[in-house]
């Protein structure tokens, strides 16, 4: 048994963390029944906390009922926190700030729920939210949940094609969007992207509600499109709909290796219990304090730790529409922390690498008092030791690396400061969070000894708040996550535990890359590249990047007889990816090669290519059809300066 399961070994000093973790695995029903007391239920959980009758489709809190929006807003608005700040919106790109108390936010959400109800949205219906980082995005999410409906937020950086795929899968009754988003100094019209997506869909929504922003006014389609402000002014407040704890709360699409996104489904009860538990136990937060997750509501961090977790526990959450640098300078984060009294911050290592690049000496920090900040949490990609050391020295506070996934919804491994602060090891997210039984398995499914790399897996059942299935595709859920190792959830990451039981995550073992904390499928990018009429075949790999963690680079083989200027063709391919996938992919390089390295069965050796690009020791696979091709790939990468 690996140390991450909490097993005691010689030299271990059992402390509070170890005792809590052991208890969570020894009697998970008692553990999570106790945690459920932090949630207000319409029908409380009964004696049975875990339904395991349909394994591997486990369900937490069967028979219990609640409403997540009520727990996030109403109970605080009516329970003594009505005048406390719930949401602070800070937008340096528009020079705007807005503040909502719990009572004000509850009232806005209640009225927008009336808008959606008037459009026929009810329990179980889907609502797609395609919006920038504005308060209305949070309001739309919570209003959907208030009605017992299911939201699916699509990141505003995705292009029309990707949006269309998600709309067709979710089949929403309503899409909520905005006239534009703002990226730095650029205004990006959203409505043309939405219109183009709807032209491609087989299941268009009945209505679209559009927030008109002053930076760009959108043209509304008569009969289909509805102006947000006008609809809100005419709407009546709507009460919360009671739902089962096991009912779906939201769908969030994550990249699949085939290029077809997977709709991760989260339920109401387990989600509320788990997230509320993490705020005090992982992040050390108390009600009334200010929490800032510098992410986007389109990603899982935004769902969990901008919108839901802080509000569930009565904290104040910050919604930031800006960048770590350039809006206006590398002191942007320090200003936000100082202005709003942030106690705990959560962002991606990419953000701090960007700040470090622009301001290595940290001189922009001198202009701001951030003595309120006591902890910085980083996640979304591997935290390299250099960035950890730089941030730790600059801030003089604990910098905590932690690891989790879209699928889990909350941390799998972390230094749980609310339980016991363990010694920090650079490069490690510390140990498994209580509730998770993490093991390192070899290809045969046997546990690896300390220090030996293998597949990071989690023994079933997963704790509350994790994914329950893939939307509309139980078979794919099992195939994608549960088929490789019986009785385990396969994370798709490789890693090891050291002799002290600390977990180290070494990277993906599939073809999903991590670009600045955004998981993107190389398959979806390859699909876009292959649309170019001159491209015969292609391969996209993620190459290590100092700032973004990974960036995609494409290798293209041209069709026979095509004689093209390679730089010109590369520009066309990059533009094609931007059009079909979006700028979020950060795809900027396409390298023309004569052929791609493959196995004899025709499988492209992407892992080998990644190893060459990252200058790792590469053993030539015995199944390769022609080893000379690897030299050609190495030469191509050398020419680009890899």
Tens of pLDDT, residues 537-554: 888 988 888 888 888 999
pLDDT, position 520: 75
pLDDT of residue 271: 98
pLDDT of residue 510: 67
Specify the residue for token string 């402000």. Answer: 229
Share of the chain above pLDDT 70, in %: 94
What are the structure tokens assigned to 158, written together?
């995705």
- pLDDT for res 639: 75
The DSSP output letter for 44 is: -
Top-level class of domain 512-640: alpha beta
Predicted local confidence at residue 259, as pLDDT: 56
Burial of residue 459 (CB within 10 Å: 0-12, 13-18, 19+) is middle
The 10s digit of each residue's pLDDT in 6-25 is: 332 223 335 999 999 999 99
Q: What is the DSSP letter of 367?
A: G
Distance CA 403, CA 473 (A): 26
In whole angstroms, give the CA distance from residue 435 to residue 215: 46
Q: Provide the β-strand partners of residue 505.
A: 495
Q: Which residue intervals of 316-373 are DSSP H helices?
A: 332-340, 349-358
What are the residue boundaries of the structural domains of the chain, listed by start? 3-38+402-508, 66-322, 512-640
The fold of the 66-322 domain, in CATH, is Rossmann fold (3.40.50)
Is-same-fold flag (3-38+402-508; 512-640)?
no
Q: Which CATH superfamily is domain 3-38+402-508 in?
A: Luciferase; Domain 3 (2.30.38.10)
Mean pLDDT of the region 437-453: 93
Give the least confident one: 75-89, 337-351, 358-372, 613-627: 613-627
The residue ranking higher by pLDDT, 588 or 10, is: 588
The arithmetic mean of pLDDT across residues 169-184, rounded, is 96
> How far apart (Å, rounded) are the C-alpha atoms in residues 566 and 4?
50
pLDDT tens digits along 382-441 = 787 888 999 999 999 999 999 999 999 999 999 999 999 999 998 899 999 999 999 999
Total Cβ atoms within 10 A of residue 63? 17
What's this model's pTM, rounded to 2 decimal places? 0.85
């Amino acid at each position: 048994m690996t140390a991450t399961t909490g097993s005691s070994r010689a030299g271990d000093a059992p402390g509070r963390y170890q005792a809590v973790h052991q208890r969570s695995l020894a009697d998970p029903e008692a553990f999570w029944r106790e945690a459920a007391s932090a949630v207000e239920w319409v029908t409380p959980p009964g004696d049975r906390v875990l339904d395991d009758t349909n394994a591997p489709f486990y369900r937490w809190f069967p028979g219990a009922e609640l409403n997540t929006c009520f727990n996030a807003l109403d109970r605080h608005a009516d329970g003594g926190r009505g005048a406390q700040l719930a949401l602070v919106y800070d937008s340096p790109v528009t020079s705007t700030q807005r503040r909502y108390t719990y009572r004000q936010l509850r009232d806005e959400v209640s009225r927008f729920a009336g808008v959606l109800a008037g459009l026929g949205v009810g329990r179980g219906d889907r609502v797609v939210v395609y919006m920038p980082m504005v308060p209305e995005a949070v309001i739309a999410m919570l209003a959907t949940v208030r009605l017992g409906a299911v939201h699916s937020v699509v990141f505003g950086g995705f292009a029309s094609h990707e949006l269309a795929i998600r709309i067709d899968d979710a089949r929403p009754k309503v899409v909520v969007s905005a006239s534009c988003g703002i990226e730095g100094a650029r205004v990006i019209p959203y409505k043309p992207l939405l219109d183009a997506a709807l032209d491609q869909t087989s299941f268009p929504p009945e209505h679209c509600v559009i927030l008109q922003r002053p930076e760009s006014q959108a043209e509304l389609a008569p009969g289909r499109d509805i102006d947000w402000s006008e609809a809100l002014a005419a709407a009546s407040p709507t009460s919360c709909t009671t739902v089962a704890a096991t009912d779906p709360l939201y769908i969030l699409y994550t990249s699949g290796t085939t290029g077809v996104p997977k709709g991760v489904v989260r339920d109401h009860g387990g989600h509320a219990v788990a997230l509320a538990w993490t705020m005090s136990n992982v992040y050390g937060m108390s009600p009334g304090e200010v929490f800032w997750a510098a992410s986007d509501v389109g990603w899982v961090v935004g769902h969990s730790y901008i919108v839901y977790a802080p509000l569930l526990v009565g904290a104040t959450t910050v919604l930031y529409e800006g960048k770590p640098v350039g809006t206006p300078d590398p002191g942007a984060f320090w200003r936000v922390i100082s202005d709003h009294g942030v106690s705990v911050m959560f962002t991606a290592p990419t953000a701090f690498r960007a700040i470090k690049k622009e301001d290595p000496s940290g001189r922009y920090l001198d202009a701001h008092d951030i003595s309120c900040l006591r902890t910085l949490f980083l996640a979304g990609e591997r935290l390299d030791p250099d960035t950890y050391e730089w941030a730790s020295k600059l801030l003089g506070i604990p910098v905590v690396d932690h690891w989790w996934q879209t699928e889990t919804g909350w941390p799998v491994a972390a230094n749980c400061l609310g339980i016991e602060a363990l010694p920090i090891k650079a490069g490690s997210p510390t140990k498994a969070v209580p509730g998770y039984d993490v093991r390192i398995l070899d290809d045969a499914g046997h546990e690896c000894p300390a220090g030996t790399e293998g597949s990071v897996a989690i023994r079933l059942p997963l704790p509350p708040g994790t994914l329950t299935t893939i939307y509309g595709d139980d078979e794919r859920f099992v195939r994608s996550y549960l088929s490789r190792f019986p009785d385990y959830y396969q994370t798709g990451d490789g890693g090891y535990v050291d002799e002290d039981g600390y977990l180290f995550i070494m990277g993906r073992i599939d073809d999903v890359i991590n670009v600045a904390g955004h998981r993107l499928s190389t398959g979806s990018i390859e699909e876009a590249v292959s649309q170019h009429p001159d491209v015969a075949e292609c391969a996209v790999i993620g190459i290590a990047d100092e700032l973004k963690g990974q960036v995609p680079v494409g290798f293209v083989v041209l069709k026979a007889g095509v004689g093209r200027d390679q730089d010109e063709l590369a520009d066309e391919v990059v533009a094609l990816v931007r059009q079909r996938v979006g700028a979020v992919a950060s795809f900027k390089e396409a390298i023309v090669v004569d052929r791609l390295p493959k196995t004899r069965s025709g499988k492209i050796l992407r892992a080998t290519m990644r190893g060459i690009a990252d200058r790792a020791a590469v053993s030539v696979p015995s199944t390769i059809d022609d080893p000379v091709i690897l030299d050609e790939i190495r030469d191509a990468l050398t020419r680009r300066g890899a």
